[in-house]
């Protein structure tokens, strides 16, 4: 039987895996949606773009739903506090995502240019808005979120919606948006040919360059721009029952760099976050599109992993009441809940991976205009 402290670490890793899996799998769908109005100039070209992700996008949403469910069950205090502070931002994500199922299903039902163009831009919103907001959220986490707990552990968000849209958070949003666009561009280049592939390659290269520049700029801003991190001055017992107020947290200029100082091997993550987009851009330029997609996936692992490694053990630090910051040790569910969830994950996660792999293998290959014309009533 695993002890409580080990279960806490395991679920920190598993939530990270789910978030990276969501970014890779649903991220390329969103990236393709972001590129839809630009990679496809006429109706048939846009149908080609949509059909590269049409058969898979809803299956890839499993990663998003599972990640949200895992946070709800494994980190209930994080879930509750995040929905308090990020309420309108998360609603904006939900509203943007509404365009995706309706757009995919109804876009080509009516042969009307205005109807189809409207849904094309709806799919663009559904692909472009969520990554931007998720990036802004990460930017705010790195600065600390203004919330606090009372004696009954009821959280109160003391900031405003507009406070979330600060310059550093917006830069983090640029990192996220460019990263997802790069990923969608490499996937679109892999599944198409001709003029659509050329546009996808150009978009992937440009987005990769923006990803590198914004990622490096964000790192420098954290290091020398006056943004203080968080550090434990007194760590709670890892095996103790959760109590967010049973610790002492201080702000420190070295806060987000402490783990990298103690574990130099972690520098492989930001290095991957820089070299991955560069490799993706180089590989997609010479039409090695599958390798470019893998490089783009590794870049996402590096960028998301960089933030996760820097913040550990913090999950949601508080800028207004640092001692109330939520960490791996004090924001989790009971040992029984974590153990039961771990058992379900061990069973079902491999099944999801196997089914997804099989689906992509069956529906692999190029999508062309000729394919759309030959399957007028079955293609998206």
pLDDT for 124 equals: 96
**Residues of the chain below pLDDT 70:** 378-379
Please give the pLDDT value at position 378: 66
pLDDT at 307: 95
pLDDT of residue 207: 97
Beta-strand relationship, 155-157 and 229-234 = unpaired
- Residue 15: the pLDDT is 93
Residue 241 pLDDT: 81
* Residue spans of beta strands (DSSP E) within the chain: 147-149, 155-157, 229-234, 248-252, 314-316, 326-327
Domain definitions of the chain by residue range = 4-374
Nearest alpha carbon to residue 90 among 164, 38, 25: 164
Q: Quick one: residue 121, left, alpha or beta (phi over 0 = left, psi -120 to 50 = alpha)?
A: alpha
Predicted pLDDT at 18: 92
Segment 103-137, tens digit of pLDDT: 998 988 888 889 999 999 999 999 999 999 999 99
| 164 CB-contact burial (10 Å; exposed 0-12 / middle 13-18 / buried 19+) | buried
Predicted confidence (pLDDT) per residue in 220-257, tens digit? 999 888 889 999 888 888 888 888 888 899 998 888 99
Strand, helix or coil for residue 326: strand
């Amino acid at each position: 039987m695993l002890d409580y402290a080990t279960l806490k670490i395991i679920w920190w890793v598993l939530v990270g895996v789910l978030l990276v899996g969501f970014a890779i799998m649903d991220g390329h769908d969103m990236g393709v949606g972001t590129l839809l109005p630009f990679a496809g100039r006429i109706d048939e070209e846009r149908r080609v773009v949509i059909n590269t992700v049409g058969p898979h996008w809803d299956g890839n949403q499993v990663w998003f739903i599972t990640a949200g469910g895992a946070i709800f069950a494994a980190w209930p205090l994080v879930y509750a506090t995040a929905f308090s502070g990020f309420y309108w931002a998360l609603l904006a994500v939900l509203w943007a995502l509404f365009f995706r199922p309706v757009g995919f299903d109804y876009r080509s039902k009516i042969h009307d240019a205005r109807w189809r163009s409207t849904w094309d831009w709806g799919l663009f919103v559904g692909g472009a808005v969520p990554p931007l907001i998720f990036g802004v959220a990460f930017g705010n986490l790195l600065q600390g979120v203004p919330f606090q707990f009372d004696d009954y552990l009821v959280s109160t968000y003391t900031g405003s919606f507009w406070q979330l849209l600060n310059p550093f958070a917006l830069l983090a949003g640029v990192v996220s948006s460019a990263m997802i666009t790069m990923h969608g561009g490499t996937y679109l280049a892999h599944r198409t040919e001709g003029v659509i592939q050329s546009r996808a390659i150009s978009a992937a290269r440009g987005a990769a360059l923006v990803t590198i520049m914004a990622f490096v700029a964000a790192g420098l801003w954290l290091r020398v721009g006056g943004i203080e991190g968080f550090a434990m001055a007194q760590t709670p017992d890892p095996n103790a029952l959760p109590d967010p107020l049973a610790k002492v947290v201080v702000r420190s200029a070295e806060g987000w760099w402490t783990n990298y100082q103690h574990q130099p091997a972690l520098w492989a993550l930001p290095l991957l976050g820089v070299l991955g987009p560069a490799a993706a851009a180089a590989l997609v330029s010479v039409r090695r599109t599958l390798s470019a997609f893998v490089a783009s996936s590794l870049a996402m692992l590096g960028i998301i992993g960089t933030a996760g490694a820097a913040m550990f053990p913090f999950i949601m630090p508080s800028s207004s009441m640092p001692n109330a910051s939520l960490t791996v040790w004090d924001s989790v569910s009971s040992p029984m809940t974590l153990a039961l969830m771990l058992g379900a994950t061990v069973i079902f996660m491999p099944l999801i991976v196997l089914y997804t792999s099989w689906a992509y293998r069956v529906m692999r290959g190029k999508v062309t205009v000729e394919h759309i014309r030959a399957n007028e009533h079955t293609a998206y």
